[in-house]
């Protein structure tokens, strides 16, 4: 349950939390103590004593100072506890996201994950901000009720006549707020997902002149978000006056009954003023609690969504599995089957053996299973049946970290971080020295263009490396892979969509990178394919041909057909 998990996060902060609660109790006692000051004031008037009046006023001032100072330190302490809890939850959530498996990312929209990480966590912060005020108001309410019973239990029972109505209102609105908050957060997640999608697809949107269409789509979701937000606002705004009216009814009933007793002579004016002062003191926290409870209910709904995200499956580096050491790079696929949805097989009985240092090109029509096959080597996905074997070890039986330390990936769209060129290359090996980074850049044919930049290796590449050209980004990615020095390399056609000059530079970099490594290339261009010692041709999840380029051309099968139809590009388009 959400409440149980929140308590677990609070457990390490029990001591400061208790200190904050004690200070809040002191502030509440001082607030209720105003009734004593009222008694002194009434007595000073009745006795016509200026000295008693001075004592009464000094007492009231002292209680006020005590209340406010205790309330300040209580609020600061409890706020610190709450912020530390939120910080811990946020840190745990980020760490959890890092270990999500790729199947988890496939099922969840990135915008929804981002929304829960940002919007939901912000609502948690709002709940934390309300917590100290809630505690102070609750303790003041309890202290006031106790003192009211002490002063006059009959009047207290009269005042409590409206308590069932207040409790019902708080309970009803709590459920409504949680449900409305969940709906509103889902609508915000929809907006975030659409915004992210439009940013990532900006080129396509502009190419097809679909700006008006996207705006219309967004407006539909924006309208849904507006409706959900207004429903939440309606519930929040209705709660306060309903409870306030109930409280006022109780106060008026009390005033009428108490004044009747004063007139009848069964209640002294002094006790009336004391009791009415305490009642007013209690009435304010009741109205405040309705607002604080609203914030806490929203925070509870947000926490439920955050914990739902934290409960998604992650990749676990099982300690009982053994390390893969001294990797040579022999890779086998033994009757491998794979399905994304458990219904349709994407791979259907793939069997192949790759010797250490061999360069394998994977060729085939779109959707034939090329990317899926190479994703099984680092265990981004697990085979539905069969086994992937590295150096004689089924990869499902080795520790993930040891397997992936032996692998480097150069994707078709290089993934660079919003940092310097140096740090993006160092990502391949975090303990690398500047000299080693420069050496890797030289082998990747990147050092020359880096040196021409005003800040050199300290140049910021921008989000996803957008300040660099495609060829420059690719060479940075190759330098990163060279620095990692993997035994197994996965290359998703690093020369596609590049001009002839960039392809020539990257081709030279690949010649340095491929030496001595077992390499899988998802290939589209002949210049890359000809580096391969073996070509595997896939179609509908099966290996239908294998051999060298010349062998497969003579075979006049699918590979030759792809080549003839120019699905394999013989030469890149020159730069213009």
Q: 112 pLDDT exceeds 80?
A: yes
User: What integer pLDDT is reported at residue 375 of this predicted model?
Assistant: 92
Domain shared by 18 and 69, yes or no: yes
Residues 294 and 332 in one domain: no
Q: Please state the rounded mean pLDDT for residues 467-481.
A: 87
Residue 538 pLDDT level (bands cut at 50, 70, 90): very high
3-state secondary structure 477-491: HHHHHHHHCCCEEEE
* Same domain flag for 302 and 327: no
Looking at residue 499, what is its pLDDT? 57
* Domain presence at residue 10: yes
Q: Say if 495 falls within a structural domain.
A: no
Q: Do 135 and 167 fall into the same domain?
A: yes
Question: Token pair 């890779």 is at which residue?
Answer: 331
Is residue 179's pLDDT more than 50? yes
Least confident of 42-51, 139-148, 332-341, 562-571: 562-571
Examine the domain organization and report whether 282 and 340 are in the same domain.
no
Assign 201 a pLDDT band (cuts: 50, 70, 90).
low
Kindly state the average pLDDT of the residues 119-133: 80
Residue range 129-145: average pLDDT? 78
Domain boundary among 245, 280, 310: 310
> What does pLDDT average to over the chain?
82
Banded model confidence at residue 30, pLDDT cuts 50, 70, 90: confident
Q: What would the DSSP string read from start to end of 478-532?
A: HHHHHHH--SEEEEE-TTTT--HHHHHHHHHHHHHHHTTSEEEEE--BHHHHTT-
Q: What is the average pLDDT across 231-248?
A: 76
Average pLDDT on 229-241 reads 78
Same domain, 200 and 270: yes
Short-list 383, 396, 393, CA closest to 329: 393
Distance (Å, whole) CA 413 – CA 425: 16
**pLDDT higher than threshold 90 for residue 336:** yes
Q: Is residue 359 part of a domain?
A: yes
Same domain, 276 and 392: no
Say if 496 falls within a structural domain.
Answer: no
Residues 6 or more apart from 79 whose CB is under 8 A from it?
128, 129, 131, 132
The answer to whether residue 347 scores a pLDDT higher than 90 is yes
- For residue 337, give the CATH number of its domain: 3.40.50.300
Averaged pLDDT for residues 66-91:
85
| Poorest-pLDDT segment among 158-162, 345-349, 354-358, 436-440 | 158-162
CATH code, domain with 133:
1.20.1560.10
Give the number of domains in the chain.
2
Residue 449: pLDDT over 50: yes
Residues 202 and 341 in one domain: no
**Domain assignment of residue 462, yes or no:** no
350, pLDDT greater than 70: yes
Spatial CB neighbours of 67, under 8 Å, sequence gap ≥ 6: 27, 30, 31
pTM of the model: 0.75
- Residue 498 reports pLDDT greater than 60: no
Same domain, 193 and 134: yes
Q: What is the mean pLDDT of residues 349-373?
A: 91
pLDDT band at 161 (very low <50, low <70, confident <90, very high): low
What integer pLDDT is reported at residue 573 of this predicted model?
A: 47
- pLDDT of 575: 42
Q: Is the per-residue pLDDT at 527 higher than 70?
A: no
Domain identity same for 74 and 36: yes
Which structural domain, as residue segments, surrounds residue 550?
Answer: 322-406+522-576
Give, to the nearest 10 degrees, the angle between helix 34-47 and helix 14-32: 20
The last residue of a domain, from among 310, 334, 350: 310
Summarised one tens digit per residue, pLDDT across range 268-327 is 777 777 777 777 777 777 767 777 777 788 888 888 889 988 998 888 877 788 888 888
CA separation for the pair 114, 124 (Å, rounded): 15
Is 479 within a domain? Answer: no
Q: Are 499 and 453 in contact (CB under 8 A)?
A: no
445 is a domain residue: no
Question: What pLDDT was estimated at residue 496?
Answer: 55
Residues 283, 349: one domain? no
* One domain, residues 59 and 97: yes
Q: Is the pLDDT of residue 494 over 80?
A: no
> Which two tokens mark 328?
């040579």
Q: What angle do CA 344, 520, 366 make, to 5 degrees?
A: 40
* 574, pLDDT greater than 50: no
- 367 part of a folded domain: yes
310, 335, 351: which is the final residue of a domain?
310
Least confident of 131-140, 349-358, 396-405, 489-498: 489-498
Q: How far is Cα 158 from Cα 148, in angstroms, rounded to an integer?
A: 11
The token duo for 276 is 């009415």
Burial of 256 (0-12, 13-18, 19+ CB in 10 A): exposed
Contact, 494 vs 474, CB < 8 A? yes
In percent, how much of the chain has pLDDT > 70?
Answer: 91
């Amino acid at each position: 349950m959400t409440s149980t998990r929140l308590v677990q996060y609070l457990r390490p902060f029990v001591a400061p939390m208790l200190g904050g609660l004690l200070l809040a109790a002191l502030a509440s006692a001082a607030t209720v103590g105003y009734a004593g000051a009222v008694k002194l004031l009434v007595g000073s008037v009745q006795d016509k004593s200026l000295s008693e009046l001075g004592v009464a006023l000094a007492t009231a001032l002292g209680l006020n100072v005590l209340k406010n100072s205790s309330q300040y330190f209580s609020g600061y302490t409890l706020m610190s506890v709450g912020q530390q809890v939120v910080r811990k939850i946020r840190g745990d959530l980020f760490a959890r996201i890092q270990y999500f498996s790729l199947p988890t990312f496939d099922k969840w929209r990135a915008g929804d994950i981002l929304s829960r990480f940002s919007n939901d966590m912000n609502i948690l912060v709002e709940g934390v901000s309300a917590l100290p005020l809630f505690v102070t108001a609750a303790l003041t309410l309890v202290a006031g009720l106790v003192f009211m019973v002490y002063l006059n239990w009959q009047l207290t029972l009269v005042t409590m006549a409206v308590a069932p109505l207040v409790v019902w209102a708080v309970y009803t609105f709590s459920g409504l707020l949680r449900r409305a908050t969940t709906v509103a957060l889902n609508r915000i997640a929809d907006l975030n997902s659409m915004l992210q999608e439009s940013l990532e697809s900006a080129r396509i949107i502009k190419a097809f002149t679909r700006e008006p269409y996207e705006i219309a789509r967004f407006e539909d979701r924006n309208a849904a978000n507006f409706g959900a937000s207004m429903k939440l606002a309606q519930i929040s705004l209705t709660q306060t006056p309903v409870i306030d009216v109930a409280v006022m009814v109780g106060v008026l009933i009390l005033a009428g009954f108490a004044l009747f007793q004063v007139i009848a002579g069964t209640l002294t004016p002094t006790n009336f003023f004391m009791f009415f002062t305490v009642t007013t003191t209690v009435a304010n926290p009741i109205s405040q609690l309705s607002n604080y409870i609203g914030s806490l209910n929203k925070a509870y709904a947000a926490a439920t969504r955050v914990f739902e995200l934290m409960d998604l499956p992650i990749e676990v580096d099982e300690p009982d599995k053994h390390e893969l050491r001294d990797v040579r790079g022999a890779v086998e696929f033994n009757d491998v089957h794979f399905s994304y949805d458990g219904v349709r097989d994407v791979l259907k009985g793939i069997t192949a053996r790759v010797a250490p240092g061999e360069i394998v090109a994977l060729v085939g029509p779109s959707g034939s299973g090329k990317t899926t096959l190479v994703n099984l080597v680092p265990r981004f996905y697990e085979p539905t049946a069969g086994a992937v074997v590295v150096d004689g070890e089924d990869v499902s039986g080795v520790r993930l970290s040891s397997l992936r330390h032996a692998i480097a990936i150069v994707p078709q769209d290089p993934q660079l971080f919003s940092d310097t060129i140096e740090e993006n290359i160092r990502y391949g090996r975090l303990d690398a020295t500047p000299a080693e980074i420069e050496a890797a850049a030289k082998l990747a044919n990147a050092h020359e263009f880096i040196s021409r930049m005003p800040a050199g290796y300290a140049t910021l590449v921008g989000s996803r490396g957008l300040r660099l050209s495609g060829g420059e980004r690719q060479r940075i990615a190759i330098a990163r892979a060279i620095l990692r020095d993997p035994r197994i390399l996965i290359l998703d056609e690093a020369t596609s969509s590049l001009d002839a000059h960039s392809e020539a530079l990257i081709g030279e970099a690949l010649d340095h990178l491929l030496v001595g490594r077992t390499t899988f290339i998802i290939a589209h261009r002949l210049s890359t394919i000809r580096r391969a010692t073996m070509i595997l041709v896939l179609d509908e999840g099966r290996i239908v041909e294998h051999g060298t380029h010349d062998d497969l051309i003579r075979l006049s099968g699918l590979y030759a057909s792809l080549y003839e139809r120019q699905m394999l590009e013989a030469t890149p388009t020159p730069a213009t």
